[in-house]
Amino acid sequence: MSQPATLTWLAEHELRLGWRDWLSMMTAGRRSRVRTVAIALVVFAVFMHLVAWSMIGGYASTPVDPGKSVLVAVTGTLLLSFSLLLSQAMESVTRAFYARADLDLILTSPVPQRKVFAVRIARIAASVSAVALFLASPFINMLAALGGARWLAAYGVVAAMGMVAAALAVALTVALFRSIGPKRTRLIAQIVAAVIGAAFVIGLQIAAILSYGTLSRFAPLQSEWLVSHAPGPHSAIWLPARAALGDAGALLIVVAASFAVIALSIALFSRRFGEHVIAASGVSQGAVRQRAADGFRRSSAAHALRRKEWTLLLRDPWLVSQSLMQILYLLPPAVLLWRSFHEGAGGFVLLVPVLVMAAGQLGGGLAWLSISGEDAPDLIASAPISPRRVIWAKIEAVMETIAMVFAPFVVALAFASSWAALVAGLGVLIAAAASTLVQLRFRTQAKRSQFRRRQVSSRIATFAEAFSSIAWAAAAALAAIGTWLALAPALIALGILFGVRIVSPRQA
Amino acid sequence: MQRPVALDVRGLTKRFDRPAVEALDLIVYGGEFYALVGPNGAGKTTTLRMVTGLLRPDSGTITIDGIDALADPIAAKQVTAWLSDEPMIYDKLTPYEYLEFVAGLWRIAPDVAEPRARELIDWLGLTPHAHERCEGFSRGMRQKVALAGALVHDPRLIILDEPLTGLDAGSARTVKNVLSERVRAGGTVIMTTHILEVAERMADRIGIIAGGRLIAEGTLDELHHKTGKTGSSLEETFLTLVEAPVAAE
């Protein structure tokens, strides 16, 4: 046991809290679920290893000292992953600034704040790296199994990326704090995090569409133009890629540099971090005045519910930013649509599954907000309206929002192909309805502010929603090209929904 | 003359891991202010949540204003309002919009609901904040907004769970005045509270619940009489009554 109030003692405390938080998220706070979660994790790990094998098994024989084209592709892939890590790290830093939790206790204790926040920054770096290592492990393991132990060096690169992402996230958030103040930083940082997470992937897709007419994000990374304009193979820019491929020297440099970056970040920002946390804790909401209404509007109870859902959604920029990621993914299809019109290409068929997939994901998020994220459940439950009518009104609110978001795409598509538009329109509605059904089956009682944690409250719901959307997207893609094979993924999607019906908890 | 019955509960029972409410009988008359007191975990909130339709009883009957609340919950809810100890309102709506939403849920015509809403907003001192979002409101202001929501549909029976918890003296006084006014206007109020002085001063009758059972009820004098402690405070009477069953167990 370490001495109280020392760095190691604080680190042990953070580690214990982090572990219990993770365990609680995985088991939804029920200790009886630990065994089930452990089994599910093993099954998931096996499944992911199979996926990894099918995706990258062919690359295991890539040499340690490859040509420029391989270095470009590996570096691009690392950058793609890094943008997601940075996004996640910014979320964590923002949460550390604004979550009250134990801050009152810590800030009133005689422990130097600098020490406390040095450990907090290190914890963020460790948690970002841990998640990245967990997600990358199936791919690295398969490469090591098929191509040799040298691939295990990639673990070091992933951990280094996590540390650099955390350091950069702290620097970015502190910079935002200093430039726009604590009140606006919360929202802006979360929007920036969402955009960073999506921007690089989407940027590559748009580049691919404009250059090659495909939605594949890897096409630009394999382009001759990029390879010819990239620095020479001995440039320091390729160090992370070389390290990932098993170059021990490069790995040493990358890991040492990442430790240096996080240490510098802690040295520079741990004091300011504390000051900013205090500033954030003093932020008041402030009054937001709305335009006075002209009078109460005559409406049915169901319409009042629908209007309430839309108003709450529109007035919550944080929720809008959380949905932004899903909406951002519609940009590449929009560019593809625009390009197809101009060049008469048949690429619009590719749009159908993208639209359907996006609708399924957005529908799931909106359905959670509407059905589970009810801030006044007692008011609704004590109102003279049947629970069935309440649920229907909320489903209508979700479906009408989906229709409004996707209608412009479907209408534009109709000018190119009425059949593709019909399939896309039906697919969008069905995928959104299916995700809504999943959320309905797994509905809980939660605050809207817990939106970000919805995916950990029920893993089954999250996976069912994702697989249902994928299956409907596949069905729509096959239907768009006019083959009866579309029935196969549609039947799988129906099977998923039937499975949800069986395994979902009984609703009171 | 026989008094109209606002709430008639018979044999109400609810079990979770252990019995929460057991064969509880309760009658509250129209125009009455009824306080339900009891120690923590006695079953007060569970009882009232069953009455308001938020929880399904295992057995028993609930009749509100002559309506069988279990057979026709919609009709029963139409004449009832519920206010919990934690004011549940929408941060992104203004008090005015919140009341419009509640009026919509209870299907109150706008020409009736709006003047009533304005009157309530004024009465509760919320006029300067009527068009501000509730997100920056203090607990007292949130409770006032929730109370306005409970009253905007002019319920015949108002059920409140610890409505004064966490309120400052001014807000608590406003809430008490509003409730007293409702009773004077013929409405029925049932309220749980841990503040025995409030029950002592405001309630026509007091019910004491412990271990899921109604162990005593009556006017203050009747309760004193039961314990043989005439002239003592409700606190002393309450402790005597509550500790007796515990000692018996």
Answer for the pair B150, B158: CB distance below 8 angstroms, yes or no: yes
Nearest to B92 among A287, A315, A379 (CB): A315
Residue A6 has pLDDT above 50, yes or no: yes
- Give the best residue of A382, A445, A449 to mutate against chain B (max B CB count within 10 A): A382
On whether the CB atoms of residues B219 and B206 are closer than 8 A, the answer is: yes
Partners of residue A379 in chain B, C-beta under 8 Å: 82, 88-89, 102, 105, 149
A59 pLDDT above the threshold of 70: yes
Longest dimension (CA), chain A: 73
Cβ neighbourhood burial of A67 (10 Å; 0-12, 13-18, 19+): exposed
| Whole-number pLDDT of residue A126 | 92
Report helix, strand or coil for A345: coil
> Each residue of B208-221: pLDDT tens digit?
998 889 988 988 88
pLDDT at position A207 is: 66
Nearest to A298 among B96, B110, B130 (CB): B110
CA distance B124 to chain A (A): 19
Residue A502 burial (CB < 10 Å; 0-12/13-18/19+)?
A: exposed
Q: What is the pLDDT of residues B131-187, one digit of tens each?
A: 998 988 888 899 899 999 999 999 999 999 988 887 788 888 888 888 999 999 999
Residue to mutate among A379, A394, A448, with most B CBs inside 10 A, is: A379
Which of A120-134, A330-344, B13-27 comes out lowest in average pLDDT?
A330-344
What does the pLDDT read at residue A370? Answer: 87
Q: What is the pLDDT of residue A369?
A: 86
A–B CB contacts, 8 A cutoff, strictly below:
110
How far apart CA A341 and CA B66 sit, in angstroms, is 68
How far apart CA B95 and CA B121 sit, in angstroms, is: 8
CA gap B202, B184 in Å, rounded: 12
The residues that bridge with A131 in the sheet, in sequence order, are none
Above 80 in pLDDT, residue B51? yes
* pLDDT surpassing 90 at residue A88: no
A83 backbone dihedrals φ, ψ, rounded to 5°: -65, -35
Average pLDDT over residues A480-487: 87
Distances (CA, A) of A159 to A83, A108, A244, B129, B131: 14, 34, 11, 51, 50
Measured in degrees and rounded to the nearest 5, phi and psi for residue A440 equal -65, -40
Checking if the pLDDT of A183 tops 80, the result is no
Residue of A296, A300, A313, A316 to mutate, testing the B interface (most B Cβ within 10 Å of its Cβ):
A296
Q: Which residue has the tokens 């057991």?
A: B22
Average pLDDT, chain B: 88
Q: What is the mean pLDDT of residues A171-189?
A: 83
Nearest to A295 among B56, B77, B110 (CB): B110
- C-beta separation of A431 from A358 below 8 A: no
**Quick one: pLDDT at residue A340?**
62
What is the structure's pLDDT at B77?
A: 92
Among B80, B29, B18, B5, smallest CA distance to B50 is for B80
Task: Check residue A494 and report its DSSP letter.
Answer: H
Confidence of residue A502 (pLDDT cuts 50, 70, 90): confident
Q: Is the ipTM of this complex over 0.90?
A: no
**Which residues of chain B have a CB within 8 Å of the CB of A299?**
104
Average pLDDT, whole number, for chain A?
Answer: 82
pLDDT tens for A351-406 read 788 889 889 988 988 888 888 888 888 999 999 999 899 999 999 999 998 999 89
Q: Element (H or E) spanning B81, and its range?
A: strand B80-83
Residue A141 makes CB contacts below 8 A (sequence gap 6+) with A49, A52
Which H or E element spans position A314?
helix A301-314
Helices A7-27 and A34-56: crossing angle in degrees, nearest 10, is 90
Is residue A251 scored above 90 in pLDDT? Answer: yes
Higher pLDDT, residue A160 or A506: A160
Residues 6+ apart with CB under 8 A from A335: A206, A209, A210
Question: Residues 6 or more apart from A302 whose CB is under 8 A from it?
Answer: A385, A389, A392, A393, A396
At B26-37, the pLDDT tens digits run 999 999 999 999
Using alpha carbons, list the distances in angstroms from residue B93 to A298, A456, A485, B141, B230. 18, 28, 48, 14, 50
Higher pLDDT, A348 or B146: B146
d(CA A386, CA B76): 12
The three-state secondary structure class of A57 is helix
Per residue in A230-241, pLDDT (tens digit) is 888 788 899 999
User: By the 8 A CB rule, do A209 and A340 touch?
Assistant: no
Please check the confidence at residue A10 and state whether its pLDDT lies above 80: yes
C-beta of residue B220 within 8 angstroms of C-beta of residue B198: no
Which residues of chain A are within 8 Å of residue B75 when distances are taken between CB atoms? 384
Chain B residues in contact with A307 (beta carbon < 8 A) = 101, 104
Instruction: Please write the tens of the pLDDT for every residue from A148-159.
Output: 899 999 999 999
Query: What is the C-alpha to C-alpha distance for residues A55 and B248, in angstroms, rounded to an integer?
Result: 72
What is the reported pLDDT for B205?
A: 93
CA A470 distance to own-chain centroid: 16
Buried b / exposed e along B49-78 (16+ C-beta atoms within 10 A): bbbbbbbebeebebbbbebebeeebebbbb
**Dihedral angle, C-alpha A46, A47, A52, A53, nearest 10 °:** 70
Q: What is the mean pLDDT of residues A68-83?
A: 85
- Distance of alpha carbon B46 from its chain centroid, rounded? 12
Taking the CA of residue A109 and the nearest CA in chain B, the distance in Å comes to 27
Interface of A with B in 271-310 (CB under 8 A): 284-293, 295-301, 303-305, 307-308
> Who among B53, B56, B89 is closest to A376 (CB)?
B89
Nearest to B149 among A286, A316, A379 (CB): A379
For helices A113-147 and A7-27, angle between their N-to-C axes, nearest 10 degrees? 60
Mean pLDDT of A83-99: 83
Tell me, what DSSP letter sits at residue B132? Answer: B
Per-residue pLDDT tens over the stretch B192-203: 988 888 888 889
- Inter-chain touch B110–A297, beta carbons under 8 Å: yes
Whether the per-residue pLDDT at B249 is higher than 50: the answer is: no
Strands B205-210 and B213-218: antiparallel
Q: What is the pLDDT of residue A331?
A: 66
Calculate how close chain B gets to A287, using CA atoms only, in Å. 6
**pLDDT number for residue A341:** 59
Residue A120 has pLDDT above 90, yes or no: no
- Please tell me what DSSP assigns to residue A371: I
CA distance to partner chain A, nearest, from residue B117 (Å): 10
